[in-house]
Structure 1
Amino acid sequence: MSITYFPFDAVVDSDGNYDRTYTSEQFALYFSKLFSNGVYGADSTGLQVTALNGNMYITVAAGAFFINGRFYANDEDENILITAGDVHYGRYDRVVARADFVNRMCGVYVLEGTPSANPTEPNLTQTADRFEIPLATIYVASGATSLTQYNITDERIGVYCTLTGFTASDYFTAYSKAYQQFSDEVQEKMNTQFSAQENKTNAQLANQQVEFSHLQSAVNEWYQGVLNDISQLQTFDFDNIASRIGATVTSNITDTVITETMVLNKVKIAERITNIGDTVIRCVTKAWDSDGSHVLLNSTTETTITDDVITSVVSQN
């Protein structure tokens, strides 16, 4: 059976030695019965990890902790540089409070994780030589050169760490701040994506307008070509006959009427009168015998032109 009791003042014996001495183990045992492992103090920001100015630095706030009866305190904020992101994969780093019993020291350290397609947080060491409790995890994305608070998860309140003096109001305040930051970052990303989509849509509409203009020009060109083909076709038949028999053709052209007369040996043997309207072209062709005494042909061709349909009707008398 082992019984421990202390502290009592030591008495100097006759040899000048103190009759009672106490070890750090005894004091650690004493404090471990009073304080559980964790961040200590009434200030909820004690040893809180935050991102610093949009770079790869983090700030560990001033604060104190107990681990297995060992005490650590820092009265100033501490800035720590986090390694930039891996080229290919993300990783998790872990900020821990550590008591090193071999080297007889306590402090705050960063455990750097391993980049992976499915990264996990580094494991804590909790042995007789070294004992760690988590303060925060940090997600470092692939290629990251800066951090935001959204990348940092507070672990001071959890299985391993009891934050003494942390009230329900402090819990709510911390949650509200984290949620507001998350909401702001999501809104910013949504605004950026909406703006990019709007620009993309406007560019597509502009391209479609250009394509429509080109198509409209092509249709107009085709339509004019059709009109030219009709005119050339009707003139071609008339002139071809005249050329074949050696006749002479004369034309009289006004704004809406074309009159063509075919003469052979000073006798009118054919005539074509073309009336050109907005949507209708009416062509009347007459032909006589060689002395001009009998009508051999009397035909009418009426061509109707709409936006996308051309219709021709031929009638003979």
Structure 2
Amino acid sequence: MAELSLFYDAVLQDDGTYDRAYTSADWAKYFENIFRNGVMMSVGEALRVTAADSVGMRVVVKAGSASLKGYQYINTSAFAVPIDVASSTQDRTDSIVVRHDLNARQAYVAVKKGNVSVERSTEVYEIQLATVKVPRNSSGITADLITDKRPDAKVCGYSTPFANVSVSGLEAQYEAMLKKIVETNKTSYEKILNDFKNYVAKAQTDMDSNIEEIICTGNGKVNAFDVLIHEWFAALKNELDANQASNLQNQINEMKATEELPAIEHNLRGYPNVQVLYWEYGIGLSGLANEPTGLGGSNVKKIPHSVEYLDLFSFKVKVPMNFKMVNPTVTKIDSRTIRFIEAFKVIEIKF
């Protein structure tokens, strides 16, 4: 058995030396027993990794602090970290880590090119702040290429007082108490658990059924309105001259959502609200001399639309005939914004 006592005053001996001394390892052991490894969530911006304001082959590590095996890493202000140039033949993924190195006697931020593992040995301990995808032939790192790994306890996690506190003894005690209460009331412990599981399963089924019913009802009302407006227009056409009918048809083409855009996938698990914006001749879609609306394109406007939810993770949007696109270029602006571009037309979907 080995016992270690921390920390007591040293006493000066007759020979001029002190009877005890403590090292950095002793202090690290003390803090390791208190704080688990990871990023200090409440310090600065918790070492968040972002794209640089002026996009280039670099990322920015924000201010923050971390605890690694009882040793502390502190960054007082944001600084840029260079990323090696992209390959011309294939994509790669780099990782941004904080490395505690006993041999170097310091902790520091490092880039691991093409490597998303963390080293954890006697001398070196790493936590991973983020991974950075570097597409082939790319010239800059944008926000969508950066994946935050700080919440992942397998490679980083957040530093909190005490690591994994075992409550197995309390669990056993409460389980025994619960069983005794159940026996006293002549109701089996297993029946309570099964009833609860059945209740949860039924609630989930009912919720899914209600959601499907709401969607079906909504689609039915939309279809009924579609039939009604067609019947009304067919009757009205007989009473209008050619120009009036043409103008009315153009107005309907501006209002009635009939033309499908490509399906959109997401990871929100649900049925998000959808907003559809439209403009023409945006910068980069046509030469400046050819833009009838002037530099920057037309004003942005909301357009009528309908949404069909294919499942919990995808949906399709329909727009009026005048905004139809045959084979648009699809660009993902961020996780909740998709842009369709064809010729001088631009449709942006926000959800």
Tell me if 1:137 matches 2:131: yes
Tell me if 1:71 matches 2:72: yes
- Residue 49 of structure 2 corresponds to 49
- Residue 19 of structure 1 corresponds to 19
Q: 1:147 aligns with which of 141, 161, 164?
A: 141
* Structure 1 residue runs without a partner (length 5+): 114-120, 166-174, 177-181, 199-317
**Residues 1-317 of structure 1: matches in 2 within 5 Å?**
1-43=1-43, 45-52=45-52, 53-113=54-114, 121-158=115-152, 159-164=154-159, 184-185=333-334, 190-191=339-340, 193-195=341-343
* Paired residue type of 1:160: V
- Residue 212 of structure 1 corresponds to none
3-state secondary structure, aligned to 2:333: helix
Q: Distance in 1 between matches of 2:12 and 2:87?
A: 63
Q: Distance in 1 between matches of 2:30 and 2:100?
A: 17
Q: Distance in 1 between matches of 2:34 and 2:120?
A: 20
Aligned-pair CA distance for 1:134: 0.5
Aligned-pair CA distance for 1:146: 0.7
Mark the CA change 1:187 to 1:124 in structure 2 (over 3 Å): closer, same or farther: closer
C-alpha contact 2:332 2:338 (8 A) present in aligned 1 = no
Aligned-pair CA distance for 1:57: 1.6
Aligned-pair CA distance for 1:68: 0.7
3-state secondary structure, aligned to 1:150: helix
* Paired residue type of 1:86: S
* Paired residue type of 2:133: Y
Aligned-pair CA distance for 1:5: 1.0
Aligned-pair CA distance for 1:195: 3.6
Q: Distance in 1 between matches of 2:60 and 2:141?
A: 11
* Paired residue type of 2:73: Y
Aligned-pair CA distance for 1:81: 1.1
* Paired residue type of 2:29: L
Q: Which has the larger radius of gyration?
A: 1
3-state secondary structure, aligned to 2:342: helix
* Paired residue type of 2:5: Y
* Paired residue type of 2:139: T
Q: Distance in 2 between matches of 1:39 and 1:189?
A: 33
* Paired residue type of 2:103: V
Aligned-pair CA distance for 1:41: 4.0
3-state secondary structure, aligned to 2:147: strand
Aligned-pair CA distance for 1:185: 3.7
Deviations 1:253-275 (A, max 9, x none): xxxxxxxxxxxxxxxxxxxxxxx
Identity of aligned residues (%): 30
C-alpha contact 1:42 1:164 (8 A) present in aligned 2 = no
* Structure 2 residue runs without a partner (length 5+): 161-266, 269-330, 347-351
Mark the CA change 1:185 to 1:15 in structure 2 (over 3 Å): closer, same or farther: same
Q: Distance in 2 between matches of 1:61 and 1:90?
A: 26
Aligned-pair CA distance for 1:44: 7.2
Q: Distance in 2 between matches of 1:195 and 1:43?
A: 49
Q: Distance in 2 between matches of 1:5 and 1:162?
A: 30
C-alpha contact 1:136 1:153 (8 A) present in aligned 2 = yes
Aligned-pair CA distance for 1:186: 6.8
* Paired residue type of 1:190: R
C-alpha contact 2:12 2:18 (8 A) present in aligned 1 = yes
RMSD over equivalenced CA pairs, Å = 2.6
Where is the strand percentage greater, Structure 1 or Structure 2? 1
* Paired residue type of 2:46: G
* Paired residue type of 1:142: R
Mark the CA change 1:185 to 1:160 in structure 2 (over 3 Å): closer, same or farther: closer
3-state secondary structure, aligned to 2:104: coil
- Residue 259 of structure 1 corresponds to none
Q: Distance in 2 between matches of 1:57 and 1:77?
A: 13
* Paired residue type of 2:67: F
3-state secondary structure, aligned to 1:31: helix
* Paired residue type of 1:95: I
Number of aligned pairs?
Answer: 176
Mark the CA change 1:44 to 1:103 in structure 2 (over 3 Å): closer, same or farther: closer
Mark the CA change 1:6 to 1:186 in structure 2 (over 3 Å): closer, same or farther: closer
Aligned-pair CA distance for 1:162: 2.2
